[in-house]
Structure 1
Amino acid sequence: MKTHVKALVVGGGAVGAGIAYHLARAGWSDVMLLERDELTAGSTWHAAGLLPLFNMSYATSHIHDYSVKFYKTLEEETGLNAGFSVVGNLRMAQTQARMDEYMLYASTAETVGIPYEWLTPAQIKERWPLVHTDDLQGAIFHPTDGYINPADVTQAMAKGARQRGVEIVRKWQVDGYEWTGSEWKVTITKMVEKGGNLVPSEEQQVITAEHVVTATGNHAQRTAKLLGIKMPAIPVEHQFIVTEPDPALVEYRKTYGEHPVLRDADAKWYVREERGGWILGPYEEGAPARFEYGVPDSFRADLFPLDLERIEEEYMSMIHRIPTTEPLGLKDDFNGPICYTPDGNPLVGPAPGLRNMWLAEGFSFGITAAGGTGYYLAQMMVEGEAEIDMASLDPKRFGSWMTTEYAARKNEESYAHVFILHHPDEEREACRPLRTGPAYDRQKAEGAQFGVVNGFERPNYYGPKDAPSNFDHDARSFRRGGWWQFAKDEAQAIRETAGLIDATAFAKHVITGPGAEAFLDWFTTNKLPKPGRINLTYALTEAGTTRAEYTIVRETPDHWVLISSGAQHAYDRDFLLKAIEDKEPEFGRINVEDWTTRYGAFALAGPKARDILKEIIKDADPDTALSNKRFPWLSCRNIELGMCPVVAVRVAYTGELGWELHHPIEFQNYLWDLLVEAGAKHGMKLVGARAQNWLRQEKSYRAFGNELGRDATPLEAGLDRFVDLSKDFHGKQAMTDKGIRSKCVTVLIDGPEDADPWGREALYDGDTKVGRLTSGGYSVAFGKSVGMGYVRPDLAQPGQKLKVKMFDKLWDVEVTEDSPFDPKNERIRVDG
């Protein structure tokens, strides 16, 4: 066994094998994979082996698509058959809402290049006569999909890894990690058989590794404790049953060949062939989380008792859908742990707070994701960044406030939601409300319907004050749902009078110290603001793409506030702290304070915003206190609103005259009441995040996680005015070397009368796919749909005519000038 390696992969399931293989293929020859038991001994051995391409996440869709294509190449390379049955995947719909979901997904699939077909009930019955179709609306069929043998594909990847120089070591368990400042010292213990259990022996070794990747599956909580971090990867029970052979299926195969995988999403199950019978895998309500605090030493390749009562409804619906299964007995059953995360997506990327420690945990569809995770994670580790934006899978998307209880309950919900309609405006209910600002109860009393940002409750829109508890759930749709008119009225108010938005969830970091100015100048792309001013700026990855967006507020010469996305709080903080740690020896002492929960923020915007603030500002001359002369655009001032001290920033994400009002959190209810009372006489409305999202698109304001991410540079995003090429900054050379591969544009859309894009749709020039939307919504200024996205640079000129795919049809699109609403910013700069 080696004692020093370039990379140590911990965990010998499908995911670990896929990572080891791809690290070696990417050029790292000195790689070791360590497994505490046998390869595939975790969830891999009892996985059903399905390879579902259906996914609403752009990054996960790429991962799954790569895996499906990669697995088909393994036998030629390794001589081992991975057991891939390319039988296709038929995803059926009982309702039109489900078909709408499939059509939104299909457009997303087109942006990745995943093939699919649409089928009517009659076509389904003709091709697969065993399926009962009378109550179906239709289906989407993936012809390249199917199922695979989990053990076989893992062994094939392991053999491919060995052929590329990877050392695979079994029966050794990691018992300690220590970072020396340049590498990891990993203490490992030999595991031995004792009474049918696997127990640690007294034999230990230390392996040093430049990089460590953990792919420990059900043991993720133990891994988190060893690393001293939090990780919301906790297993949930998943059971599936195997029927006795079905004579009708055996007869069917003589004529038609192997049956495709069936998914009846409205019935919450999948079904596939298994040796002449069927496997039924339900995703039922009530499946419990297991091993919240670690896997017992006695649990190896074990299973839990089956709970047939829990899946009775799904079992009966299988009989309804495949009537020939009714007389069949049960041949086998499985009920094993499969890891989940609160949002159902895995944790892939750098571990929070640690150097050269990479996580690949929380895979609920680990067989599907194993190959693609290895491919893209290897890119991140070897090249510095992946070719797609992996931020949506980053482990730091869950902040340090997250607890074990929260993760367990959310993971149970995530499991039960596998086949629930995934509306783009979906808001899941478990563990809520949890993090609330002081004004939460006041907002709720006004009809606020909340969404969650980093655990914080934030108004999405304001519905009726007397709305029933299920109002928002019933208002959701893939088209213009019941919430749409409320959001439209709110957006209209900001354009015509004024609106008040709760922006408390913003991440806020205060930077001080003698090295602060030099550090921030190196860390960000834009010129630094002068005291009393602000600017918008970006921090880049090593690859020159966009890693973070900040509004820098410079209150005094040596006091800087970095404001960034609330959803990215832990993500941005980790990046900032690591950069400071690297550069402090060069620039001098740099202090960081996290003010995220110390200060709330309200955004007041609209033509009447200044009039409202004049009502309550305490100043020797309130009529001029907010004028352009005393309080110009893109400046900040310490002001007093009634008895509340406020750091006011003259900026508005909606593109109207406006201010962000940052206030000590203990003053929030007082300030809220003050603003609501003053605003009432000027027609101010309370406004949620959805209306704000529409308005910012009318101004071509890019959003992090949509237009901004690790797959595009600020120059490709069209943010040249925020990039000062006359100075040196982190990632500058890599950014300029990339050139312009695609270009961010704003488009106006003549789409369907009852729907707007969600920002996941493919863009076409004729019949040629040329880009994709990253945001979408409705424009009150133009009376039609609006969107933002990326296209080929030659198609980014204003006036360019394109098409967008929505509900399986192509609709007319025109590229507009940047900031089509008020392009000269006259409304923002208006004096008074």
Structure 2
Amino acid sequence: MSATNAQVLIIGGGAMGVSLMYHLVKAGWSDVVLTEKNDLTHGSTWHAAGLCTHFAHNPTIQELRATSVRLYRDILPEETGGTCGFHPSGAMRITSNPDRMDEFAHVAGLSRFTGYDLQMLTPDDVERLHPLARTDGLLGGIFEPDDGHVDPSLATNAMAQVARKNGATILRYNPVTSIRREDGIWVVETEKTTIHARHIVNAAGTWGWEIGHMMGLNIPSVPMLHQYLVTDTVQAVSDRIAQGQPELPMIRDPEESWYVRQERDGLILGPYEKNAEAWSIDGCPPDFGADLMPPDLDRVEDIILAAMTRIPALATGGVKSVVNGPITFTPDANPLIGPAHGLANAWLLTGSSMGVMEGGGAGWFLAHWMTYGAPPMDALAVDSRRFGSWVDRDYRVKKAIECFGLQFGVHYPYEERPAARDKRLSPIHDLLLERGAVMGVAYGWERPNWFSNKRGDEAIPSFRRTNWFQPVAQECECVTSAVGLADMSVFSKFEVTGPDARAFLDSIGANRAPKPGRIGLTHVLSPAGGTESEFTVAAIGETQFYLTSAAAAEERDYDILRARADGFDVTITRVTESYGVLGLMGPNARALLEDLTQDGLGKWLSVSQITVSGISVRAMRVSYVGELGWELHVAADQMRALFLALEQAGKAYGLGLFGAYAINAMRLEKGYRGWGTEFTTERSPAETGVGPLIKMDHDFIGKAALADRMASDDRWDMVLLEIESGDVDPFYAHAVLQDDRVVGVVTSAAYGYRTGKTLALAYLRDRHARDNLTISLLGTSRAATILDTPPFDPSNTRMKE
């Protein structure tokens, strides 16, 4: 068996893998090899309906889809002299649901910022654009004029043609049999050759879980069976063609869970049933390739009938063929793109339920990341490390089934879906439920979002004020006037020890490590100067530091810490589940603690080991809510006793419990930024507004790029906005305008209960736009005023008391 050397080996020849190959060679990579088990497009790509859209709730996902459209429609035909079979038909979504109209208005507002023209529709507009659709009962819809559909095989082979022309190698009918790592090189055994590669990429799609298993990974994806039917000639469509009418726009009814598009003189109908069927969960049949399952239209009969009611012409065509094949779903229906956790030079580009729709852009996204060391946009929605080791078989299957059934579900702000819950529980989970906690999920952890006066209460999802508005107001009042207690155990937690601990921490971030007994904040940058991570750093001693960060950043941060520890004599230990954390916040916090300890409680931004009610506690005097307070970090097996002691002693001080929604509202009243919302790889910490935490007197990765950004007049600027109040509170991803010109975007927002103000943090991409600002909120315009100082305790007096 011969051996092949590669700079990068891509495993999988569907739209995603071939797109990466195309974009890597365009970026100048050499020795790019792609191996495919069968032939290009086999698995899922070849039988896809080829729908392409600009509709998305997240700017990064939207850009993946928009990049695909540009590639298939414009770039590849020009490069190859051929066609990808792209039909610029446009598309619409229709609804009879008022909440859906809010969702459409929100996406249209976001799209104003991203630069894509999505238009709200009335029922009359729907009838004009799609004459075959009935409009009775409809409230309206949204139109995506630049959408279309593509021939998946033509598009994939066009990318492969360009890649081969630029030196890439494609090995067909060459399944991978084993993967190992030797002397810093990936050794991949295949049927035809042994491939030695510096980088490997799992782009195996339907086989993504199996290839991941060979890599030593648990890939959280599951193949799901999706059917669509193709009609014979539909006379109404044939008549339009004969009259020279344009192709009908694609149409989706998310309430009835179907899409329809024109296919020559017929139609394609694709239903998404609620009782979805997972397929080959633990490995596909060895001989599976360009294969389909037998039709099973009984499963979707009700959806087909609903579609025929809306588009009566569907019933006149007869069924020409039925496609029933696998597509992969992750637990949140977004693809897995980025570094593979814990492995050097290993990447994921798999798990996309929209492989053709997102494939062209996904390849661009990962090629940029691999080339420049950072993604081109915020990667949180797609980063493969957003799921951790807590994702077991039960979780990935139940969530994939849920996502399939909710493919057309309303995407509410602060949505909490019910499948596969209770994967990570704090030691006081049951006590919090007894006290009325309404739980949400953060990186698998169950955490209280808010507290109800009755156990078992649930949040009513809405784009408008809902049933948790008043309970959260009461929680904020308790924290402001008395004392509140919160379970903050979801933090990611790490210990850094060793002779070089201080030097190491100085090297990884834009700030220097704090002195012993003190707490600091440091931001780890990408090579491009964007914010990779945000750590609260507590200096336990000169050679011992305790770091906390966002729950969702756990695997990312662990990778970053270990990767950047090269050359330093340090030990990095992940201790997330070893410690519980209780936040004790409010003007009565000190008095309560003094009843339970004889130890000094320290100054603001100090850390000390104290004994509380006989329990050893790492007390960190920090507050994300702007009140006097402590984070009490305690061994997990002692957290229950500490909670009960604080609760009992707190009765004399008016203690109440508070959750994540109250924390969010209160931190916005202080203008505090958050990782994943304000801090992202797209923007530098200087643009995010934490300039005092940047110390340019030491070396760190991204320093030069950060200096360039700070000196650029094109840099963005984060501001705190007061929004004109109304019956809808802003939340995130609203366009900011100046005299109808889009100048920025809201990153997070909430009603501030202590100040009576509606507040938002926003990036201004035109930092000179300071006056006459508005935000686009569910199709309405709200005045927005920049606040020069936070509206709550701007001098930090309350925290320092």
- TM-score (norm: length of structure 2): 0.96
Deviation of residue 181 (structure 1)? 4.2
The reply to whether residue 321 of structure 1 matches residue 310 of structure 2 is yes
The reply to whether residue 577 of structure 1 matches residue 562 of structure 2 is yes
The reply to whether residue 393 of structure 1 matches residue 382 of structure 2 is yes
Query: Which whole-Å deviations, capped at 9, do the CAs of 1:130-185 have from their partners, x for residues lacking one?
Result: 11111100010001001111111111111121222222221112223333444323
Q: How does 1:743-758 map to 2 (within 5 A)?
A: 743-751=717-725, 753-758=726-731
The reply to whether residue 514 of structure 1 matches residue 499 of structure 2 is yes
Deviation of residue 295 (structure 1)? 1.2
Deviation of residue 793 (structure 1)? 5.6
Distance in 2, Cα, partners of 1:127 & 1:88: 10
The reply to whether residue 601 of structure 1 matches residue 586 of structure 2 is no
Query: Which whole-Å deviations, capped at 9, do the CAs of 1:666-687 have from their partners, x for residues lacking one?
Result: 1222222222222233223211
Query: Which whole-Å deviations, capped at 9, do the CAs of 1:8-49 have from their partners, x for residues lacking one?
Result: 222111111111111111122432222121111110011111
Query: Which whole-Å deviations, capped at 9, do the CAs of 1:25-77 have from their partners, x for residues lacking one?
Result: 11224322221211111100111111122111221111111111221121121
Aligned to 1:51: 52
Aligned-pair identity in percent equals 38
Instruction: Please say if residues 739 and 772 of structure 2, whose CA atoms lie closer than 8 Å, have aligned partners that are also in contact.
Output: no
Distance in 2, Cα, partners of 1:663 & 1:801: 49
Instruction: Please say if residues 88 and 144 of structure 1, whose CA atoms lie closer than 8 Å, have aligned partners that are also in contact.
Output: yes
Aligned to 1:535: 520
Query: Which whole-Å deviations, capped at 9, do the CAs of 1:535-554 have from their partners, x for residues lacking one?
Result: 11111122221111111111
Letter in 2 for 1:738: R
Letter in 2 for 1:215: A
Letter in 1 for 2:31: D
Query: Which whole-Å deviations, capped at 9, do the CAs of 1:365-397 have from their partners, x for residues lacking one?
Result: 010111111112111111222321113211111
Distance in 2, Cα, partners of 1:179 & 1:391: 28
The reply to whether residue 6 of structure 1 matches residue 7 of structure 2 is yes
Distance in 2, Cα, partners of 1:460 & 1:178: 43
Q: Secondary structure at the match of 2:218?
A: coil
- TM-score (norm: length of structure 1): 0.93
Query: Which whole-Å deviations, capped at 9, do the CAs of 1:413-465 have from their partners, x for residues lacking one?
Result: 11111111110121111111222112111111222111111111001111231
Deviation of residue 634 (structure 1)? 0.2
Deviation of residue 698 (structure 1)? 1.4
Aligned to 2:205: 217
The reply to whether residue 349 of structure 1 matches residue 338 of structure 2 is yes
The reply to whether residue 699 of structure 1 matches residue 681 of structure 2 is no
Distance in 2, Cα, partners of 1:618 & 1:824: 29
Aligned to 1:375: 364
Q: How does 1:457-496 map to 2 (within 5 A)?
A: 457-468=446-457, 471-472=458-459, 475-496=460-481
Deviation of residue 359 (structure 1)? 0.9
Instruction: Please say if residues 427 and 580 of structure 2, whose CA atoms lie closer than 8 Å, have aligned partners that are also in contact.
Output: no
Distance in 2, Cα, partners of 1:793 & 1:640: 51
The reply to whether residue 226 of structure 1 matches residue 227 of structure 2 is no
Query: Which whole-Å deviations, capped at 9, do the CAs of 1:806-831 have from their partners, x for residues lacking one?
Result: 1112211111124332221111101x
**C-alpha root-mean-square deviation of aligned residues, in Å?**
1.7
Q: How does 1:601-680 map to 2 (within 5 A)?
A: 601-615=581-595, 617-619=596-598, 625-626=600-601, 631-680=602-651
Q: How does 1:73-112 map to 2 (within 5 A)?
A: 73=74, 74-112=76-114
Instruction: Please say if residues 509 and 595 of structure 1, whose CA atoms lie closer than 8 Å, have aligned partners that are also in contact.
Output: yes
Pick which of 180-189 and 104-113 moved more. 180-189
Aligned to 2:231: 243
Deviation of residue 6 (structure 1)? 2.3
Letter in 2 for 1:289: A
Letter in 2 for 1:364: S
Pick which of 162-171 and 533-542 moved more. 162-171
Deviation of residue 126 (structure 1)? 3.0
Aligned to 1:71: 72
Distance in 2, Cα, partners of 1:542 & 1:398: 24
Instruction: Please say if residues 253 and 259 of structure 1, whose CA atoms lie closer than 8 Å, have aligned partners that are also in contact.
Output: no
Aligned to 1:361: 350
Pick which of 640-649 and 147-156 moved more. 640-649
Q: How does 1:553-572 map to 2 (within 5 A)?
A: 553-572=538-557
Deviation of residue 485 (structure 1)? 1.9
Query: Which whole-Å deviations, capped at 9, do the CAs of 1:694-737 have from their partners, x for residues lacking one?
Result: 11111121111101011111111111111111112222122212
Distance in 2, Cα, partners of 1:268 & 1:680: 51
Letter in 1 for 2:613: G
The 3 A distance-change label for structure 1 pair 389 and 818 is: farther
Distance in 1, Cα, partners of 2:296 & 2:603: 66
Distance in 1, Cα, partners of 2:277 & 2:495: 42
Distance in 2, Cα, partners of 1:161 & 1:69: 17
Letter in 2 for 1:619: Q
Aligned to 2:129: 127
In the alignment of these two chains, the number of paired residues is 795
Deviation of residue 467 (structure 1)? 4.6
Q: Secondary structure at the match of 2:148?
A: coil
Distance in 2, Cα, partners of 1:724 & 1:651: 21
Instruction: Please say if residues 758 and 777 of structure 1, whose CA atoms lie closer than 8 Å, have aligned partners that are also in contact.
Output: yes
Pick which of 348-357 and 299-308 moved more. 299-308
Aligned to 1:40: 41
Aligned to 1:257: 246
Aligned to 1:690: 661
Deviation of residue 657 (structure 1)? 0.7
Deviation of residue 491 (structure 1)? 2.1
Aligned to 1:765: 738
The 3 A distance-change label for structure 1 pair 59 and 723 is: same
Instruction: Please say if residues 391 and 710 of structure 1, whose CA atoms lie closer than 8 Å, have aligned partners that are also in contact.
Output: no
Letter in 1 for 2:302: E
Deviation of residue 309 (structure 1)? 2.3
Deviation of residue 275 (structure 1)? 3.0
Query: Which whole-Å deviations, capped at 9, do the CAs of 1:65-99 have from their partners, x for residues lacking one?
Result: 11112211211210221011111111001111110
Query: Which whole-Å deviations, capped at 9, do the CAs of 1:478-499 have from their partners, x for residues lacking one?
Result: 1112222222222232223222
What runs of 5+ residues in structure 1 fail to find an aligned partner?
191-204
Instruction: Please say if residues 186 and 196 of structure 2, whose CA atoms lie closer than 8 Å, have aligned partners that are also in contact.
Output: yes
Aligned to 1:726: 697
Instruction: Please say if residues 348 and 377 of structure 1, whose CA atoms lie closer than 8 Å, have aligned partners that are also in contact.
Output: yes
Distance in 1, Cα, partners of 2:313 & 2:173: 45
Letter in 1 for 2:580: G
Instruction: Please say if residues 400 and 570 of structure 1, whose CA atoms lie closer than 8 Å, have aligned partners that are also in contact.
Output: no
Aligned to 1:452: 441
Distance in 1, Cα, partners of 2:767 & 2:331: 41
Deviation of residue 792 (structure 1)? 3.2
Letter in 1 for 2:491: F
The reply to whether residue 433 of structure 1 matches residue 418 of structure 2 is no
What runs of 5+ residues in structure 2 fail to find an aligned partner?
none
Letter in 2 for 1:388: M
Aligned to 2:760: 787
Q: Secondary structure at the match of 2:535?
A: strand
Equivalent residue for 2:537, pick from 542, 549, 552? 552
Deviation of residue 272 (structure 1)? 0.9
Instruction: Please say if residues 526 and 681 of structure 2, whose CA atoms lie closer than 8 Å, have aligned partners that are also in contact.
Output: yes
Distance in 2, Cα, partners of 1:129 & 1:518: 69
